């Protein structure tokens, strides 16, 4: 005989009802699984896709090139003896790069301290100078810094001179993502050099702080001039995050910085589709549709999803047909966002020829427009051979790069260099054109920000160009996290 069911007491009824309500609340709170197309397989796109995948969403990464990583690129060939060179993103900092370092810790990637900003020599006014010499008050006066500036540099360090002028103004900003409405909006129409002059800055300090123009009265201001508001805002972000002006503590990944995007790509697996160039994107309130050409035969494919994330430079977005077109504010922001390009110079040498030479360090600020910096990469690789890195203009020949080095390097062992390699991004990675974002044009801040980073319907934007502080891998991973949270919580 079946036993009678237990009586439904008030307590049991409350337990049952509460359990059902909690289960229902949990079900409602759990975000629905979304399909997301990520356009661009650089570090921003890959980190966004992996982040979304971990949160239970279905992702597809469409990368137009035959490789992933975008502007994070490590080359190994034709370098010998296990040497390598990061011809893209160079470094990360600590403090700073919070989201980037979170991924590095998660995947337990090997980190090395980068010595490139220690024992530096700078070619200033026709002479190689040590950091100690540049920090000397007598030298600073000889350069033309005024007494107020010298006193500040003696107390806070010569690399921190910008905070003498920008620091007090930076306190006016309360939200690092909102430069407007802090009572300084009119300064977006004031040339930085003019504003610094009004604050009593010497001509030398104005040049050091990025405002080399003596007076806009002598030459009409153009959009290429940096506005005082833009520069003050950027300084305020650094200060809000508790970061130093000069980031001496820099790091890189052992074996090359491409290790992180390669890790993302490996874990995403078949979700990443390379050699898949998006040609059109349609979007409405219900979702998005991307059309791309895939493979060597450029077979046309169509994918539908709930959301799309644009993880490519504004210069690349211009080549994608979007329907309906971007709103006017977004269109203007994308069109007026300047992106920089430069070449990477790799010098392969038989020995560390600078050791015991005229300059005992190879960490150089050269003052040369052909090769502005020099430092060693892959210094942990055993053996006598080594690799030096530098940066140059977008168009540069290996012969000109090597000639420039031999001209400005004061030592006598230059023949140790066996080969010069110039990685020209515009030519070798045409789909990764445009690296870090440059300052917004004079007087354009309100027209560009925050429209540049805001989504358009179900289309979001992430990558180095789409964060407030345009620091390469930092901006890419921070903006990717912001988009991930927006889509996950929608």
CB-CB neighbours of 355 under 10 Å: 10
How far is Cα 70 from Cα 88, in angstroms, rounded to an integer? 8
pLDDT at 327: 97
How far is Cα 10 from Cα 443, in angstroms, rounded to an integer? 69
Residue corresponding to tokens 């006016």:
172
pLDDT at 217: 60
Residue corresponding to tokens 């699984």:
33
pLDDT at 13: 36
Q: For residue 326, count CB atoms less than 10 angstroms from its CB and return exposed for 0-12, middle for 13-18, buried for 19 or more.
A: middle
Residues near 186 by beta carbon (within 8 Å), at least 6 away in sequence = none
Which residues of the chain register pLDDT less than 50? 1-28, 214
SS3 411: coil
> Residue 394, Cα to own-chain centre: how many angstroms?
18
Could you please report the per-residue DSSP string of 301-361?
EEEEESEEEE-S-HHHHTTSEEESPPPHHHHHHHHT--B---EEEEEEESS-TTTTSSSS-
Whether cis (ω within 30° of 0) applies to the bond prior to 321 is no
Residues near 227 by beta carbon (within 8 Å), at least 6 away in sequence = 187, 188, 189, 190, 191, 192, 439, 440, 442, 443, 445
Domains of the chain in start order, with CATH, are 35-65+259-339+434-488 (3.50.50.60), 74-118+249-254+341-431 (3.90.660.10), 132-240 (no CATH)
Task: Extract the tokens encoding 225.
Answer: 């001039």
How far is Cα 159 from Cα 151, in angstroms, rounded to an integer? 13
β-partners of residue 461 are 310
pLDDT at 220: 67
- To the nearest 10°, report the CA torsion of 182, 231, 150, 408: 170
Single pTM value for the model: 0.91
């Amino acid at each position: 005989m079946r036993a009678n069911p237990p009586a439904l007491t008030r307590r049991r009824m409350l337990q049952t009802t509460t359990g059902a309500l909690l289960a229902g609340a949990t079900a409602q709170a759990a975000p629905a699984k979304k399909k997301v197309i990520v356009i661009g397989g650089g570090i921003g796109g890959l980190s966004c896709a992996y982040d979304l995948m971990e949160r239970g969403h279905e992702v597809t990464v469409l990368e137009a090139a035959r490789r992933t990583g975008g502007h994070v690129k490590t080359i190994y060939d034709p370098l010998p003896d296990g040497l390598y060179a990061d011809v893209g993103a160079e470094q990360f900092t600590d403090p700073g790069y919070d989201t980037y370092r979170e991924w590095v810790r998660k995947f337990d990637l090997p980190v090395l301290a980068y010595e490139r900003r220690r024992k530096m020599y700078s070619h200033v006014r026709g002479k190689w100078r040590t950091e100690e010499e540049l920090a000397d008050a007598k030298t600073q006066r000889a350069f033309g810094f005024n007494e107020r500036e010298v006193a500040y540099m003696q107390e806070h360090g010569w690399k921190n001179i910008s905070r003498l002028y920008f620091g007090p103004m930076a306190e006016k900003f309360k939200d690092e993502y909102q430069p407007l409405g802090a009572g300084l909006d009119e300064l977006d129409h004031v040339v930085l050099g003019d504003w610094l002059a009004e604050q009593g800055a010497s001509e030398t300090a104005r040049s050091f702080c990025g405002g080399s123009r003596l007076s806009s009265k002598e030459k009409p201001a153009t959009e290429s001039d940096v506005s005082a508001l833009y520069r003050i805002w950027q300084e305020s972000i650094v200060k809000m995050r508790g970061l130093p002006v000069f980031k001496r503590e820099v790091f890189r990944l052992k074996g090359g910085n491409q290790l992180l995007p390669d890790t993302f790509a490996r874990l995403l697996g078949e979700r990443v589709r390379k050699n898949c160039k998006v040609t059109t994107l349609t979007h409405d309130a219900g979702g998005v549709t991307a059309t791309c050409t895939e493979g060597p035969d450029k077979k046309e494919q169509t994918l539908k999803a709930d959301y799309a994330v644009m993880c490519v430079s504004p210069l690349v977005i211009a080549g994608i047909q979007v329907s309906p077109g971007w709103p006017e504010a977004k269109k203007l922001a994308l069109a007026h966002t300047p992106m920089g390009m430069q070449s990477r110079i790799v010098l392969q040498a038989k020995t560390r020829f600078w050791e015991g030479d005229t300059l005992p360090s190879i960490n150089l600020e050269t003052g040369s427009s052909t090769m502005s910096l020099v430092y060693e990469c892959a210094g942990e690789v055993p053996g006598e051979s080594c690799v030096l890195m530098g940066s140059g203009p977008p168009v540069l020949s290996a012969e000109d790069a090597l000639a420039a080095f031999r001209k400005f390097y004061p030592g006598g062992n230059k023949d140790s260099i066996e080969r010069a390699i110039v990685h020209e991004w515009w030519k070798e990675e045409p789909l990764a054109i445009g690296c870090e974002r440059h300052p917004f044009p004079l007087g354009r801040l309100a027209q560009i920000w925050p429209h540049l980073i805001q989504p358009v319907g179900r289309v979001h934007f992430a990558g180095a160009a789409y964060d407030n502080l345009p620091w390469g891998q930092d901006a890419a991973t921070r903006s990717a996290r912001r988009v991930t949270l927006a889509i996950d919580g929608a």
